[in-house]
């Protein structure tokens, strides 16, 4: 099935608004700061930006605790600033996707203030309130993703409320039709303003076990070690109830009723590929882009990457379009996870696989994690579980080699420190160099748009390449009329000979740009250490 929609052929770029550009001198990025860098995004060649939350918020979880869904937090600007950003993005052909946080609000949201005011409040049922157990303890053993019980006792009304994240982020009860109506109105508010879609925060959390049963312990807690304390339970009941699907069908119908191909992207964490694939919907009537985080959490090993890619391709429902992610604001930076050399290989993989890539701001520069002193930690999760801190991957974007890197005025303290090496690893420095990761990223984005094999070709993993390598073919058609593209990746730091018998070819791009344009024989190809090659071959 040929991809025809903009979100299938396009590249999504995630902007963390606190860290992209500060226009008003407070050391925190804002909407006007994003607007001022739109030309960079056009130059880079991405098609859409997804902006993490900029709504009114006490910022306990940096905007994922929304206190007013239909207003902009003064830290980021105002609705007029959003309108300017949207209009200027659209004028440049860039789409704008905003974050939708359905599972919880801030405890300072008017709905929750009303809900907690008394057991008889008309909004009591908008959140999940339960009586204590007979011993006075919480209603179930559920734990918050950020650690500790997921239930907080409200002393004045004597009941517990559920918070799957911080206690300042009470969970809404989506089983209450009024909640669904109110939240769908939020979607309409932004759709009416012209946004091109939504990224749905923790999409699996909005339907839980209606009986609130206890979760059993996890038989292999080490499997989810990256989740900290949360890994100790098997999360059968606190999220992921199948009633989710009905909600996302309605969500999708709402989006589809608007003109202009609006898109839904879901944040989904599920180790089971079939469960993940289920979010496309039976008739592809749920989420357009159920985020596929399998590469993000993978051990960086060629056999493992191959298993993931083949597994995803095989699990896709008929007609469903894949997508790939290597980084986001919740994880360590790819360059720190894999090292600079493999970060280039990973970027090449991301931009040549079949499916929509989502690029996290700064990964195109190979930004490593920022190094923080304990007094610089800002992330609430990092304050509770230091190993889980997410600040290192959220450092300000370095635009140039001046003091404060063009992110904020030289005399202002940025909200987080820059990643090390930003005096050299910044946009201005890298756009000068054809060998930089930024230049490679830009070339590959263009190539995937222009080359039919990369834009729409089917995926076929090639058997028999040596250990530590992963090779695949992208073919635009079955009859060999159009050239195919061979992607050969060396995930090791030693050279690897490969013999692929796809005839002679021409290097279109690669991690080592001096190879670009060279003729190669795919039957005797020497992959250099940490090399990724994109080779045009006969179809």
Q: List residues with catalytic annotation.
A: 201, 267
Rounded-to-integer distance, Cα 508 and Cα 534, Å: 5
Contact pick of 20, 50, 55, 64 for ligand GLC (by CB under 6 A): 64
The verdict on 291 binding ligand GLC (CB under 6 A) reads: no
Shortest Å distance, C-beta 291 to ligand GLC: 10
Q: How many residues bind ligand GLC (CB under 6 A)?
A: 9
Shortest Å distance, C-beta 390 to ligand GLC: 7
Name residue, tokens 């959003």.
Answer: 82
* Both tokens assigned to 501: 């018998």
Rounded-to-integer distance, Cα 439 and Cα 429, Å: 11
The verdict on 54 binding ligand GLC (CB under 6 A) reads: no
From residue 179, how far is each of 174, 176, 186 by CA, in Å?
A: 6, 6, 11
Q: Output 98 or 202, the one with its CB closest to ligand GLC.
A: 202
From residue 475, how far is each of 4, 305, 451, 452, 482 by CA, in Å?
A: 17, 20, 10, 8, 8
The verdict on 165 binding ligand GLC (CB under 6 A) reads: yes
Nearest residue to 167 (alpha-carbon basis) of 17, 58, 241, 54: 58
Shortest Å distance, C-beta 10 to ligand GLC: 21
Q: Output 63 or 77, the one with its CB closest to ligand GLC.
A: 63
Shortest Å distance, C-beta 201 to ligand GLC: 5
Contact pick of 11, 202, 343, 419 for ligand GLC (by CB under 6 A): 202
Question: How far apart are the two ends of the chain, measured CA to CA in Å?
Answer: 18
Q: Output 105 or 469, the one with its CB closest to ligand GLC.
A: 105
Contact pick of 30, 47, 61, 238 for ligand GLC (by CB under 6 A): 61
Q: Output 394 or 442, the one with its CB closest to ligand GLC.
A: 394
- Give me the sheet containing 458-461, strands edge to edge: 458-461, 469-475, 484-490, 532-537, 504-510, 519-521
The verdict on 238 binding ligand GLC (CB under 6 A) reads: no
The verdict on 168 binding ligand GLC (CB under 6 A) reads: no
Shortest Å distance, C-beta 64 to ligand GLC: 3
Name residue, tokens 């991301």.
Answer: 350
Task: Give residue number: closest CB to ligand GLC.
Answer: 64
**Cβ distance 517 to 531 under 8 Å?**
no
Considering only residues 428 through 487, tell me which ones interact with ligand GLC, judged by CB under 6 A. none
Considering only residues 242 through 281, tell me which ones interact with ligand GLC, judged by CB under 6 A. 267
The verdict on 330 binding ligand GLC (CB under 6 A) reads: yes
Shortest Å distance, C-beta 198 to ligand GLC: 13
The verdict on 201 binding ligand GLC (CB under 6 A) reads: yes
Which residues lie below 8 Å from residue 339, measured CB to CB, with a gap of 6+?
A: none
Radius of gyration of the chain (CA): 24
Q: What is the DSSP annotation of 40-86? A: HHHHHT-SEEEE---EE---TTTTSS-SEEEEE-TTT--HHHHHHHH
- Rounded to an integer, what is the distance from CA 320 to the centroid of its chain? 19
- Which residues here bind ligand GLC, judged by CB under 6 A? 61, 64, 101, 165, 201-202, 267, 329-330
């Amino acid at each position: 099935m040929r991809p025809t929609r903009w979100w299938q052929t396009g590249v999504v770029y995630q902007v963390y608004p606190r860290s992209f550009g500060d226009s008003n001198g407070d050391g925190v990025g804002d909407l006007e700061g994003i607007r001022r860098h739109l030309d960079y995004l056009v130059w880079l060649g991405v098609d859409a930006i997804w902006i993490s939350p900029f709504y009114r918020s006490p910022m306990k979880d940096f905007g994922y605790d929304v206190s007013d869904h239909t207003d902009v937090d003064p830290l980021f600007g105002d609705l007029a600033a959003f309108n300017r950003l949207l209009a200027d993005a659209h004028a440049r052909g860039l789409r704008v996707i905003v974050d939708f946080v359905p599972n919880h609000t801030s405890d300072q949201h008017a709905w929750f203030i009303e809900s907690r005011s008394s057991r008889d409040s008309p909004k009591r049922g908008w959140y999940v309130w339960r009586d204590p157990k007979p011993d006075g303890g919480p209603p179930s053993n559920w734990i918050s993703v950020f650690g500790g019980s997921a239930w907080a006792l409200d002393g004045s009304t004597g009941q517990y409320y559920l918070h799957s994240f911080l206690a300042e982020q009470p969970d809404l009860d989506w089983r209450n039709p009024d909640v669904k109506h109110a939240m769908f109105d939020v979607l309409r508010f932004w759709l009416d303003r012209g946004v091109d879609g939504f990224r749905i925060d923790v999409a699996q959390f909005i339907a839980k076990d209606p009986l609130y049963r206890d979760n059993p312990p996890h038989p292999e807690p080490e499997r989810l070690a990256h989740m900290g304390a949360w890994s100790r339970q098997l999360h059968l009941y606190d999220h992921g109830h199948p009633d989710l699907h009905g909600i996302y069908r309605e969500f999708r119908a709402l989006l589809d009723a608007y003109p202009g191909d609006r898109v839904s992207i879901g944040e989904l964490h599920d180790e089971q590929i079939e469960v993940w694939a289920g979010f496309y919907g039976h008739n592809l009537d749920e989420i357009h882009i159920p985020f596929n985080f399998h590469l993000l959490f993978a051990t960086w090993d060629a056999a493992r990457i191959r298993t993931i890619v083949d597994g995803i391709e095989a699990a896709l429902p008929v007609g469903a379009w894949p997508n790939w992610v290597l980084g986001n604001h919740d994880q360590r930076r790819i360059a720190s996870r894999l090292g600079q050399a493999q970060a280039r290989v990973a970027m090449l993989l991301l931009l040549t696989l079949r499916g929509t890539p989502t690029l996290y701001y700064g990964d195109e520069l190979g930004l490593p994690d920022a190094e923080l002193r304990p007094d610089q930690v800002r992330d609430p999760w990092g304050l509770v579980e230091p190993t889980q801190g997410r600040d290192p991957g959220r450092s300000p974007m370095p635009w140039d080699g001046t003091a404060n890197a063009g992110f904020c005025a030289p005399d202002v303290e940025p909200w987080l420190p820059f990643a090390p090496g930003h005096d050299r690893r910044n946009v201005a420095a890298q756009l000068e160099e054809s060998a930089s990761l930024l230049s490679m990223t830009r070339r590959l984005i263009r190539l995937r748009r222009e080359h039919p094999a990369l834009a729409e070709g089917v995926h076929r993993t090639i058997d028999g390449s040596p250990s530590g390598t992963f090779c695949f073919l992208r073919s635009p058609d079955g009859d060999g009329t159009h050239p195919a593209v061979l992607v050969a990746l060396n995930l090791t730091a030693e050279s690897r000979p490969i013999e692929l018998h796809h005839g002679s070819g021409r290097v279109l791009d690669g991690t080592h740009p001096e190879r670009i344009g060279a003729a190669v024989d795919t039957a005797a190809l020497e992959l250099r250490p940490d090399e990724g090659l994109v080779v045009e071959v006969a179809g």
